Amino acid sequence: MSIKDEIFHEFAKGLKTKGLPDGFIDRLSSLLKENKVTEEQMIELIRGASLDVDKD
Amino acid sequence: MSTKIKAIHIKALRGISALNLELNGKNLVLKGDNGTGKSSIGDALEFFFTGQVAHLKGAEGLSNKKHLPHVNFTDKDLAVKLHFDPGNISVKRTFKGIDNIPPRLKEYIEEGRHSTFILRRAQILEFINSKPADRYRSLGNIIGIADLDEKELVLMGVRDELKGRVESIQSEYKEILNEISELIQKKISKIDEVLSRLNNMLKQKGLPTVDLLTELNNYSKELIPNIRATVNKEDLASVTAIQTILMDIPIPGEFLHDTKELNSKIEELIRKRSKSYTNEQSLLELAKDVIAEKESDICPVCNQPINRTELLESLSQRIKTLIGLTKEASNLRTSIEPLKSTIDRVVSRLEDLLGKLSRFDKLSIYSREIETLIHDGKKLQEKIASAKQLNNLIPVDDLINWSSKVNKVTSNLQNECKNLLNEIGPTEEEKNIIEAIDLVTRVSVKLNQAMKIQRDLEINKSSFRLAEIIFSSFSNAKKQITHKIYSEIQSGIKNAYLAIHPNEPIGDIELAVKEKRRASAKLDLELFGKKGDPRALSSEGHLDSLGLCIFLAFIKKFNTKFGLMVLDDVVTSIDSRHRQNIAKLIMNEFRDKQIIITTHDEVWFEHLRACQKAFGLEGNFINYEIINWDLVTGPQLKKAKILWEEIQEDIKRGDKIAAGNKARQYLERLLKEACNNTQAAVPYKLDGRYEIGDLFEAAKQRLQKLTKGTSIENSIVKCFQELSRTTFMANPLSHDNVLQEELSLEEVRGFCDAVHNLDETLSCPFCHNRLIYDKQFRALRCSSEKCEDPISIEVPQTV
């Protein structure tokens, strides 16, 4: 595992212990691994997740 | 048997149009001048294993597809093919992807994809120049995780943005409760308090009350039939709707006062940016200014060709990142958000209004004015977004001007609406009903807005909490793993550093992540019993070798399954003696790797070759020189020969000018080494360009002093006598000079032999490594620790 992968693995582990769902963690990690992720893309993803939580 | 690269075939990449490099699984040492395509080989290998070249992406305007292909080709032409042993397998990578990888190579190529295996000169220079505050990033660059800093910044920006939105919505909610309080003439702190107060007001007017807040919307419909048919009810509803929108438009004066304060904070940050305080940011800004002003395509520092546009874009991106990382910038982003939301709201309300004015002639005459205000409002939105990125100040004057026009047109329209209501002409009783309808409608609209804002607030609060968790988890994970890496390579760094600087009083080298900071590294070096920042205690050369040691320790610890290591021109500011030690360290400790070393430095090239010989590794290395480069053909390589072999060939061919020229270079190099290895006193030159004339006397006097009364005294004296007699030829043979013709081949041969004799005399008779003066042992000794029969000549007591 590369160092970057190790950091992302630890990151995912941290989010999981905070109770975040696997699907969201996967989407978030893939987006962060992209070359040029923007704040707007990230906010869209987070707001989407918040709305899902809101619906639940 | 471990996997090795047998050949590298590069097509249409950077400075290489086409190149076939046969390695036969050996290590490569490649010498070439700057700008001759050496680094393109490292780029090609990085592209092959990872599908991209990290230093050619990320910054705006810089992309692999645009800038990795050779300028005469397109991205479709670019290809890197590696031929591997054992198995005799070829694998090609293009922009479309990589060939199917045979199972035998899967693990190797996968490891290559994940590994940091290239160290470039730019990374070392960044490390040397970095102040403690910037070191975390430069270290991240060496171990290959620097781009994660950009991702962390994005997450931090998202958190700030959402925090700003929450604060903005909270104040919007408070504002709307105030507006409802004004309408119902009672201060309320929550929506639930509205209904009882509103019913009280309706009772006072003798009108029916409302049971539930959700029924407010229908209240008007129920009361409108009580108004006479002569009153146009549609007109009445339209005017009421316009009045409701108008209530939501005016911009409060104190809001503009806050904006002035915000601007002074932005100004402070922009001013800080332009102040020449010495950190990485100011250094980058200075570099950007110099490159922008010079309008030259040559780097003012290293004289190498540069792509000015790309470099400027890359510098801007780096500066933006550094500024974005500051806490003040983070707070500022949060503070600007309410201003942005207000402008967004007003523009949106003006757009709503525009669609409703055409029904009434008296109101439609304001349409053009409203359109202009919408247009100007959108321009302000853009400028405020840009101010948020600290690109400019908030245009306060424009904002004040726009706000005053907005407030004025709103006030005019409110008066026109009142007049219209009078014209519609209801009776006193009807007016009472209309007022009640108006009140209920206004309260209803505001309540709907308040409820929507409340929902929005909950979502944004939840988004903010989530963003905070994501940011802190990412930051902690990065910190934790980086800290783990630092602790695991700490002893490796020290061992490598001691191997390069064996006689220096070095204590601990401590590398750690600063716990309380977001992205900060602590790097302490103990030297002469003092511990502190390496910049304070050591030279640029020491920092250069320290950066190299960090990379080597990292490779040693983490790249156990990947056998390739590339060092691209990394020893620029290290002196000759320590370079020898680096060469030894590489030969000693990295025999399991296939190493590719590129350099523009002839002395380092020769050290590496001498070391191959001393360690009996000549068969494991291929030594190439780039003899020519042009855009069409790319680098032209030839196998490097030892300079003395080339001189002998020139003499054999009768080419006295070529031989003499090379002998002059040979002598200059030997004298540089002799002065360095014996600590001779050479008069200092500011430009650092030492030539034979600067070095000859210093080397001669020092060597004669050190060898006086020893077994090599006579050889040294004879060498310098012979050189004194023949060195005058160096100049005419190197330049277009009439004396060239006067010199015979025999005379030139005499000069060449004299230089070679000096080489032999200054070398260990057993291993041919250079003799150095060891102050501790007071002796001229063989510099190789591996030498089986090292020479050691005690120097006279007078030294």
pLDDT class of B465 with cuts at 50, 70, 90: very high
Task: Give residue B40's pLDDT.
Answer: 93
User: pLDDT tens across B106-127, in order?
Assistant: 888 988 887 788 888 878 777 7
Q: Which is higher by pLDDT, B521 or B443? A: B443
**Mean pLDDT across B435-442:** 82
User: pLDDT tens across B547-577, in order?
Assistant: 888 889 888 887 888 889 999 998 877 877 7
Give the range among B304-308, B361-365, B395-399, B794-798 with minimum mean pLDDT.
B304-308
**Mean pLDDT across B354-377:** 91
Across the interface, whether the CB atoms of B477 and A7 are under 8 A apart is answered yes
pLDDT class of B532 with cuts at 50, 70, 90: confident
User: Is the pLDDT score of B716 beyond 80?
Assistant: yes
**Mean pLDDT across B314-320:** 71
Strand order in the sheet with B779-782: B771-774, B779-782, B792-794
**Mean pLDDT across B608-628:** 87
The answer to whether B612 contacts chain A (CB < 8 Å) is no
User: pLDDT tens across B476-506, in order?
Assistant: 998 888 888 888 888 888 889 888 888 777 7
pLDDT class of B52 with cuts at 50, 70, 90: confident
Do you know the residue count of chain B? Answer: 799
The answer to whether B467 contacts chain A (CB < 8 Å) is yes
d(CA B570, CA B121): 5
CB atoms within 10 A of CB B701: 13
pLDDT class of A53 with cuts at 50, 70, 90: low
Expressed in angstroms, the distance from the first to the final Cα of chain B is 53
Across the interface, whether the CB atoms of A14 and B477 are under 8 A apart is answered yes
**Mean pLDDT across B330-355:** 83
Q: Which is higher by pLDDT, B734 or B89? A: B89
Q: List alpha helices for B115-146, DSSP H.
A: 121-129, 132-143
Residues in chain B with CB shorter than 8 Å from the CB of A46 are 158, 162, 463, 466-467, 470
Residues in chain A with CB shorter than 8 Å from the CB of B463 are 43, 46-47, 49-50
The answer to whether A53 contacts chain B (CB < 8 Å) is yes
Task: Give residue B113's pLDDT.
Answer: 82
pTM exceeds 0.90, yes or no: no
Across the interface, whether the CB atoms of A50 and B462 are under 8 A apart is answered yes
DSSP string, B688-751: ----HHHHHHHHHHHHHHHHTTSTTHHHHHHHHHHHHHHGGGHHHHHS--THHHHS-HHHHHHH
Task: For residue A46, give the nearest of B58, B113, B467 by CB distance.
Answer: B467
pLDDT class of B83 with cuts at 50, 70, 90: very high
Which residues of chain B from 553 to 592 reach within 8 Å of chain A, CB to CB?
Answer: 558
Give me the residues paired with residue B526 across strands: B531
Residues in chain B with CB shorter than 8 Å from the CB of A5 are 114
The answer to whether B154 contacts chain A (CB < 8 Å) is yes
pLDDT class of B236 with cuts at 50, 70, 90: confident
**Mean pLDDT across B681-709:** 89
Residue with tokens 């100004």: B267
Q: For chain B, what percent of residues have pLDDT higher than 70?
A: 88
Which amino acid is located at B685 in the chain?
K
Q: What is the mean pLDDT of chain B?
A: 83
User: Is the pLDDT score of B281 beyond 70?
Assistant: no
Is residue B20 within a helix (H) or strand (E), and if so which, with residue range? strand B16-22
How many helices and strands (H and E) does chain A possess?
3, 0
The answer to whether B116 contacts chain A (CB < 8 Å) is yes
Across the interface, whether the CB atoms of A39 and B481 are under 8 A apart is answered no
User: pLDDT tens across B123-132, in order?
Assistant: 877 776 766 6
8 Å CB contact between A12 and A24: no
